[in-house]
A and B are shown apart, each in its own frame.
Chain A
Amino acid sequence: MKKKSFLEKAAAVPHFVWMILFIVAPLLFVIYFAFTDSNGAFTFDNILNLSSYGDIFLMSVLFAFIATVVCLLIGYPLAFFMSRLKPSAQKVFVLLLMLPMWISLLIRTYSLLAMLDNGGLLNSLLNAIGLPTVKIVGTRGAVILGMVYDFLPYMVLPIYTTLSKLDVRYFEAAEDLGCSSVMTVFKVALPLSKSGIISGITMVFVPSISTFYISQKLGGGRFDLIGDTIERQFLMNNNKNVGAAISLVMMILILISVAVMNRFGDDDGGELIV
């Protein structure tokens, strides 16, 4: 075996240094700040006091959960129908799906606000035909709608990707053996696209639970989610220690749920091979 040249050995070094300085070290500081008080003395108080944020955690989980379920219910049929199209049409729809993902979420949230706000398009139209203004912004529904609107493409794309790789003959076989088209979806497509569903759920749930400007803009500042709380602790209250503790707990919660989700995916993959 030939020896590695200097270039081969040194090429990744700047990246290693960068990783340690700006990925690993910042996360260590989150842990450090979470377990110290403002003077730098070790304490468990930040973590123990988190129980007062229990309602916020609960509401964030609930909102994110509802948004994820709605995204799955809307997104799965969309992904399924897309995967049944002609290849050329599929390409167009994939591009159409990706374009919103590339437009800043800030702008998309703002455009939704322009539609739903009291002086927005929807209410202007309602007023024009003599109906009273509907107050949407500032309700729970608006926040959840914002999450669904912003993150729906993240659900559809991974599901579509797994579905489009499936052999069409599975579906043909199912239908030949007497499955109705609805049953084919439930008995063939759904189990075979589990990995796509799982990554879709992760990609919607994680940003939903940590968002802060969706709730700020569409919730009219009336709903404090975990993200809002973290943002406030860091940028307004200037209580970095409490903020770090909340961030740490959220990160651990997310890591656990992602790990659990992936576990489901792996088990399923194993079954398929057997």
Chain B
Amino acid sequence: MKVLSKIYMALIFALLYAPIIVLVLFSFNRAGSFTNYSGFSFYWYRELFRDSTAIDALKNSLILAVSSAAAATLIGTLAAYGISRMKNKYVKAAVKSVTNIPMMNPDIVTGVSMMLLFAAASSIPFLVVEMGFWTMLIAHITFNLPYVILSVLPKFSQMDKHLTEAALDLGCTPSQTFLKVELPFIMPGVISGFMLGFTLSLDDFVISHFVSSSDFKTLPLYVYNQTAHEVKFSMYALCALMVFAILILMIVVNFVGGGKTDGKVKKKKKKTA
């Protein structure tokens, strides 16, 4: 039984990882085929970076991920602070469930609903709405918010109330208390919220697909376009790079964010089509 269970686990994990490992390994194959392996080479990576649209997509992805994660962290941390102070539990529950809608809804519905909003907004006179960076930024902030709040809110409830009371008694104003006492305490949650938002934004394809234009393409959108017809080994290189990036990010999140809140958020995850 023991042995059988080990074999079973090994088998499933091998199957889960095989395609990704194959993709990464063959991205280093100069021959660009699965049948002959002509040795380790960065040829396809060089090929990839010769394509200026790929570089642009990388830049766009990073700009979007940083700005949407930063904005979502700011709005979300303040929101978590406000929610943690709410007395009326019905209002609290209502706010929480509306916040979680983008997490529960299929991504395609979130994407489509955003697209309709922007389409409707552009019919308002004098309001110019063009799909591009700003529409994507709004969409990414929206789907990042619940994850930020979910990682910050538990920190507020874990916090000892007496600490804030002591600060207030000793003469701090509420905003000073927030900055000097509460913010340092909730910081791990804030950081893991930011990292989560960054990762989700970097990863997102489905929602972006509906609110983007050809002027502003992120990496996943670029991959999607490039893989429409044929297998390209430079795309394997790009995918391999993205896998490495996620790997590094995940290590950072696990070491910096730490704690139980992380697990909770990751379980709720995510981001599907």
The residues of A with any CB-CB pair to B shorter than 8 Å are: 4-16, 18-19, 22-27, 29-30, 32-33, 74, 77-78, 81-82, 84, 93, 95-96, 98-108, 110-115, 117, 119-121, 124-125, 127-128, 149, 151-154, 157-158, 161, 181, 206-207, 209-214, 217, 227, 230-231, 234-235, 240, 243-244, 247, 250-251, 254, 258
Which residues in A have their C-beta under 8 angstroms from that of B247? Answer: 99
- Which B204-252 residues sit within 8 Å CB-CB of chain A? 205-206, 209-210, 220, 223-224, 227, 231, 235-236, 239, 242-243, 246-247, 249-250
Which residues in B have their C-beta under 8 angstroms from that of A119? Answer: 33-34, 231
Q: Nearest chain-B residue to A30 (Cβ)?
A: B113
Which residues in A have their C-beta under 8 angstroms from that of B223? Answer: 106-107, 110
**Chain A nearest CB, measured from B194 CB (Å):** 15
Q: Nearest chain-A residue to B119 (Cβ)?
A: A240
Is B178 in the interface zone, CB < 8 Å from A? yes
Which residues in B have their C-beta under 8 angstroms from that of A15? Answer: 75-76, 78-79, 82, 99, 145, 149
Is B45 in the interface zone, CB < 8 Å from A? no
**Chain A nearest CB, measured from B181 CB (Å):** 13
Q: Bound state CA distance, A230 and B113, in angstroms?
A: 12
Is B180 in the interface zone, CB < 8 Å from A? no
> What are some 13 contacts across the A-B interface (CB < 8 A)?
A6-B174, A8-B81, A16-B95, A23-B99, A26-B114, A101-B269, A110-B235, A115-B19, A119-B33, A157-B266, A207-B106, A231-B209, A251-B105
Is B109 in the interface zone, CB < 8 Å from A? yes
- Counting residue pairs across A and B whose Cβ atoms lie within 8 Å, the total is 241
Known contacts A14-B79, A117-B231, A247-B108; is-contact A106 B95 (Cβ 8 Å): no
Contact indicator A106/B220 (Cβ below 8 Å): yes
Which residues in B have their C-beta under 8 angstroms from that of A11? Answer: 78-79, 81-82, 85
**Chain A nearest CB, measured from B211 CB (Å):** 10
Which residues in A have their C-beta under 8 angstroms from that of B35? Answer: 124, 127-128
Is B13 in the interface zone, CB < 8 Å from A? yes
Q: Nearest chain-B residue to A207 (Cβ)?
A: B272
Contact indicator A29/B79 (Cβ below 8 Å): no
Beyond A15-B76, A124-B33, 6 extra complex contacts between A and B, CB < 8 Å: A10-B82, A102-B199, A107-B20, A158-B267, A212-B108, A240-B119
Is B1 in the interface zone, CB < 8 Å from A? yes
Q: Which of B95, B210, B242, B250 contacts A104 (CB 8 A)?
A: B242
Over the window 110-138 of chain B, the binary record of Cβ atoms lying under 8 Å from chain A Cβ atoms (1 yes, 0 no) is 10111111011000000000000000001
**Chain A nearest CB, measured from B128 CB (Å):** 17
Q: Bound state CA distance, A101 and B120, in angstroms?
A: 34
Q: Which of B9, B99, B102, B104 contacts A93 (CB 8 A)?
A: B9
Counting chain A CB atoms within 10 Å of each CB, the highest count among B1, B26, B113, B223 belongs to B113
Known contacts A23-B98, A82-B9, A106-B205; is-contact A29 B81 (Cβ 8 Å): no
Known contacts A82-B9, A98-B250, A240-B116; is-contact A7 B174 (Cβ 8 Å): yes
Contact indicator B112/A120 (Cβ below 8 Å): no
Which residues in A have their C-beta under 8 angstroms from that of B26? Answer: 114, 121
Contact indicator B112/A114 (Cβ below 8 Å): no
Q: Bound state CA distance, A111 and B95, in angstroms?
A: 39
Contact indicator B113/A26 (Cβ below 8 Å): yes
